[in-house]
Structure 1
Amino acid sequence: MRRAWDRPLTAYYLILGSGLLITVLGLVMVYSASMIYALQLSLPATYFFRKQFLAVVLGTGLLLLASRMPIKLNRALSYPLLVGTVFLMVLVQVPGIGRAVNGNQNWIYLGGPFQLQPSEFGKLALILWGADLLARKQDKRLLTQWKHLLVPFVPVALMLLGLIMLGGDMGTAIILTAILFGLLWLAGAPTRLFAGVLAVAGLIGFALIKTSENRLSRFSCVGAIDLGPDGECWQAVHGIYALASGGWFGSGLGASVEKWGQLPEPHTDFIFAITGEELGLAGTLSVLALFAALGYAGIRVAGRTEDPFVRYAAGGVTTWITVQAVINIGAVLGLLPIAGVPLPLFSYGGSALLPTMFAIGLLIAFAREDPAAKAALAMRRPGVRWKTMRRRVKKRPSGER
C-alpha cells in the first residue's frame, strides 16, 4: 500500500478518478433531488437533469482542454480572464442586465433558461492571476518585502470582494477570502500579517452580519433542532431530518421524502442532505472520501513541484474546492451557518460547475508535469515501451537469454 501510494502517478489518478466520480454521482443525485421540484413548476421531471448534463458535457470539454494546455498559456490567459470577469461582475450591477436570485444580485440573464454567475469565474481568475503574479515576484526575490507581497494582489482581491458584496453574496465572498489567505500562506506571508488581516476581515464580517437580519438568523440556526417561532430555521432543521432518516444505507435512490417540498434547495445547496436520505451514511461517507482524496492529491501536487506558478495555482484550486465543500457540508450538518454555496462538482448549477471542472483539468495538467509522472506516462505508450524493451535486450550479454 505504501509503495502504491508513493508512485509517481498516484496524484494524477486520484484527481482524475475522484473528480469524475463526484461529477457522475452528482448528476445522479441532481436528477433524483430535482424531479419533484421540476414537476411542481410544471416542467418535465428531467428538466434540471438535462441542463446539468449539458453543463457536464461542456465542463468535460473544458477539463480536457485545461489538462492539455501548456503552463505558459495558462499564465498568458490569466490577465484576460481577470479583466473579463471584472467586467461581467460590474455588468451584474447594471439595471436590466443583472438579476437577483434569492436576494443576491449576482446573475446575468443570457436568454431562455440560461443565466450566468460571474463571481464563480472570479475564483478561478483570482487563482490564476495571483499565481502568475506571485510566481514572477518570487523569481525576482521580491516576496520578502511586504509591499511586493501585498500589492497589487490584495487590492485586486478586495476589489473582487467588493463587487461580490455589492450583490449581497457573502458565501462566495468567504470562499474568495479563503483563496486569498491560501495564496498568501503559500507565498510565505508572516504570521503577524495573517493576524492583522484576519482581525480586519473579522471586524468587517461582524459588521456585515450584524447589519443584516437574514445573515444574523443564519447564525442563530447553527445546531438548531427546532424550526423557530417564525420558521426561520426551517431549511437547517429539515436538512437534519433528511440526514437522520437515511440510516446506514438510505431509503433508496429516488425515495426521499424531504424533497417533496419540505426541504428548500434540495438539488443545489442541500443536495448533500438528499444524498444522506437516499444513500445513507455509506453514501455521504463516500462523497466525503472522494473530496478528501481530491484535496490530498491537490496538496501533493503543490508540495512536490518546483515550479512556483504550479505550486500557487494548485494550492489555490485545492483551497477553493476543499473550503467550499467544508462550508456546504458543514451547513447541511448544522455545524456552520447556511452560506448559500453549492457543493463543488456535485450540486446543480452550470455557472459553478464549468470553472470548477476547468480547475480540475488544471490539477490534472499539473500532476502530469511532474518529471516522474512524465516518465511513467511515457513508459505506458506502446512505442516507447517497445523501444525500451529492445534496448534492454540489446544490452544483455550474448550468452544470456
Structure 2
Amino acid sequence: MPTSRTGRPPVQRAPRRPPAPRPPRDNPVARLYGRARRAWDRPLTAYYLILGGSLLITVLGLVMVYSASQITALQLSLPGSYFFRKQFLAAVLGGLLMLAASRMPSKLHRALAYPILAGSVFLMILVQVPGIGVAVNGNQNWISVGGPFQLQPSEFGKLALVLWGADLLARKQDKRLLTQWKHMLVPLVPVAFMLLGLIMLGGDMGTAIILTAILFGLLWLAGAPTRLFGGVLAIALTLGFILIRTSPNRMARLGCLGATEPGPGDSCWQAVHGIYALASGGLFGSGLGASVEKWGQLPEAHTDFIFAITGEELGLAGTLSVLALFAALGYAGIRVAGRTEDPFVRYAAGGVTTWITAQAVINIGAVLGLLPIAGVPLPLFSYGGSALLPTMFAIGLLIAFAREDPAARTALAMRQPRFGRKRAAVRGSAVRGPRKWNTMRRRASARSSGER
C-alpha cells in the first residue's frame, strides 16, 4: 500500500459531484400564456363573454348612434338627440327582455316558440294590408304603432325561426326521426320558405338572407347529409339569382362591388362614401363627433353604415375593437352549443350564433365593399328598435344556456359568499380562524367532465 513521506496512508478524497443543473429560467411569456389559457377554459368564460361582449357592443352602439345621427336629425328639423333617445329607450326595453330571457328555464323558452312564430306570421301578413303596412326606402316591411314608432315584424321572424326550429328538431331527435330526410326537412323548410315569402313580398332581401342563414345553420347542426344540404342550398341560390336578376336595384348593388368611384348617376354613391369614411379615419380616427361623411355625404349613417362612421371617428382601433367583440360573442355561442347535452339548447344557441354572426358579416362586408349592400343593420350596434329588441332577447337566451351548464352553475354558486349561515360553532370555539370564503380557488378540482 503506498504511503506518504510521513509514513501514513494517503487520504482518499471523495470524487467531485457534478454541478447541479440550474433550474430553467421562468419565462414570463409562457407564464402569462398559461394563465390566459387557464382563465379561458374556466366554466364561466362563455357566460362572461356573452354578457360583457353584448353590453359593450350595445353601449358603444348608443354612443355611435348619438354621434352619427345628430346631423340627420337636424336636417329633419328634429332635436339632435332624437334618434339617440329612441335607441336608448329600445335598449332599456331590450335589457329588460334580455334579463327576463336569461332567467327563464328552457321549458319556458320552448313554450314560447309557437306563440312567437304565430305572432310573427300574423304581423308579417298585416304588413301587406293596405293602410296598415308602411313602406320605407322602397320596402314595405313596417307597421306604424303610433306616433314616431314603427315595428318591423320580419326582425321578430328571425327569433321565431330559431326558437321554433330548435324545438322542432329537438323533439324529432328525441324520437330518433332525424335519420330520415323527410323528417329533417318537413315542416322546417316549408315554414322557413313561408317566412321568406312573406318577407320578400315587401322586398327586403337582406332579412331574407339572414333567415336563410339561420335555416342552413339549423340543418347543419341537425347533421343533414351533404346531398340534402347541397340540394337545399342549390334551391336557395337559384331563387336568389332569379330575385337579383329580375330587380334592377339589386343588380345595381351587385355592380358596386369593389367600386372606387360613384359611377354614372351616382349609383354607387353610398358604397364609395363608406370606403371614404373608413379611409379617412386612419389608425385612431378623427375623434368622436368629428366625422365629415355624416354631414349628408353618407346615406344611412346611423343605421346600415354606422360601421363606416365608427371607422372614421375611432379609426382602425375602433373598428378592430368592434370586430373583436363580435368574434368573442360568436366564439362564446359556439362554445355553449358545443358543450351542452340538451338538443334544444344546442340548436337554439347555434341558431342565435348563426343569426348574429351572419348579420354582422353581411353588414360589415357591405361597408368594406366586399359584399353587396343588403340593407341589414349591425346587430346591437345600429339604430333600430325593431332589430334591437329581438336580438337582445336572443342574447338573453345565450346567457340562460351558459348559466345552465353544470360547471357554470356550480361556479356561480361558489363565487358568491353565503351570508346568513349559522355560526354557532364558530362563536363557541375558543380559537376563531379567518373566515373561509366560498371561492373558485377552494374547489378548483371539482370541475365538470365537460371542462377540459
After superposition, give the CA deviation of every residue in 1:257-303 in whole Å (9 maximum; x if it has no partner). Answer: 00000000000000000000000000000000000000000000000
* 1:173 aligned to which of 205, 208, 219: 208
Q: Tell me the number of residue pairs that the alignment of Structure 1 and Structure 2 aligns.
A: 392
Q: Which residue identity is paired with 1:364?
A: I
TM-score by length of 2: 0.85
Alignment of 1:29 onto 2:67: no
What does 1:325-344 correspond to in 2, within 5 Å?
A: 325-344=360-379
Q: Paired residue for 1:237?
A: 272
**Which residue is equivalent to 2:158?**
123
Structure with greater contact order relative to length (CA < 8 Å, sep ≥ 6): 1
Q: Does 1:19 align with 2:54?
A: yes
Counterpart of 1:107 in structure 2 is 142
CA distance in 2, matches of 1:229, 1:163: 34
- The runs of at least 4 consecutive aligned structure 1 residues that moved more than 4 Å come to 384-392
Give the aligned partner of residue 396 of structure 1. Answer: none
Q: Does 1:84 pair with 2:119?
A: yes
After TM superposition, give the deviation of residue 391 of structure 1 in Å: 11
Deviations 1:184-237 (A, max 9, x none): 000000011111111111111111001000000000001100100110000000
**Counterpart-to-counterpart distance in 1, 2:371 and 2:291:** 24
Contact 1:236–1:332 (Cα < 8 Å) also in 2: yes
Q: What is the Cα deviation at residue 137 of structure 1? A: 0.3
Classify the secondary structure of the residue corresponding to 2:171.
helix
Q: Secondary structure of the equivalent of 1:100?
A: strand
> Which structure is larger by alpha-carbon Rg, 1 or 2?
2
Structure with a larger share of its residues in helix: 1
The 8 Å contact of residues 91 and 97 in structure 1, kept in 2 or not, is answered as: yes
Q: Does 1:368 align with 2:421?
A: no
- Cα deviation per residue 1:26-64 (whole Å; 9 max; x = unaligned)? 000000000000000000000000000000000000000
Identity of aligned residues (%): 85
CA-based RMSD:
1.5
List aligned pairs for 1:1-400, cutoff 5 A.
Answer: 1-383=36-418, 389=436
Tell me, yes or no, if the aligned pair for 1:310 and 1:366 is still in contact at 8 Å.
yes
Unaligned residue ranges in structure 2 (runs of 5+): 1-35, 423-434, 440-452
Q: Is the 8 A contact 1:379 1:385 kept in 2?
A: no
Give the secondary structure class of the aligned counterpart of 1:382.
Answer: coil
Shift of 1:381: 2.3
Q: Secondary structure at the match of 1:245?
A: helix
Residues in 2 aligned to 1:332 and 1:391: alpha-carbon distance in whole angstroms: 49
Secondary structure at the counterpart of residue 107 of structure 1? strand
Measure how far apart 1:389 and its partner are: 4.8
Task: Give the unaligned 5+ runs of structure 1.
Answer: 393-401
Partner of 2:430: none
Letter in 2 for 1:120: E
Post-superposition Cα deviations, 1:283-338, rounded to whole Å, max 9, x if no partner, equal 00000000000000000000000000000000000000000000000000000000
Alpha-carbon distance between aligned partners in 2 of 1:160 and 1:384, rounded to the nearest angstrom: 51
Q: Give the structure-1-normalised TM-score.
A: 0.96
Please say if residues 182 and 319 of structure 1, whose CA atoms lie closer than 8 Å, have aligned partners that are also in contact: yes
| SS of the residue 1:95 aligns to | coil
Mean CA deviation greater in 377-386 or 203-212: 377-386
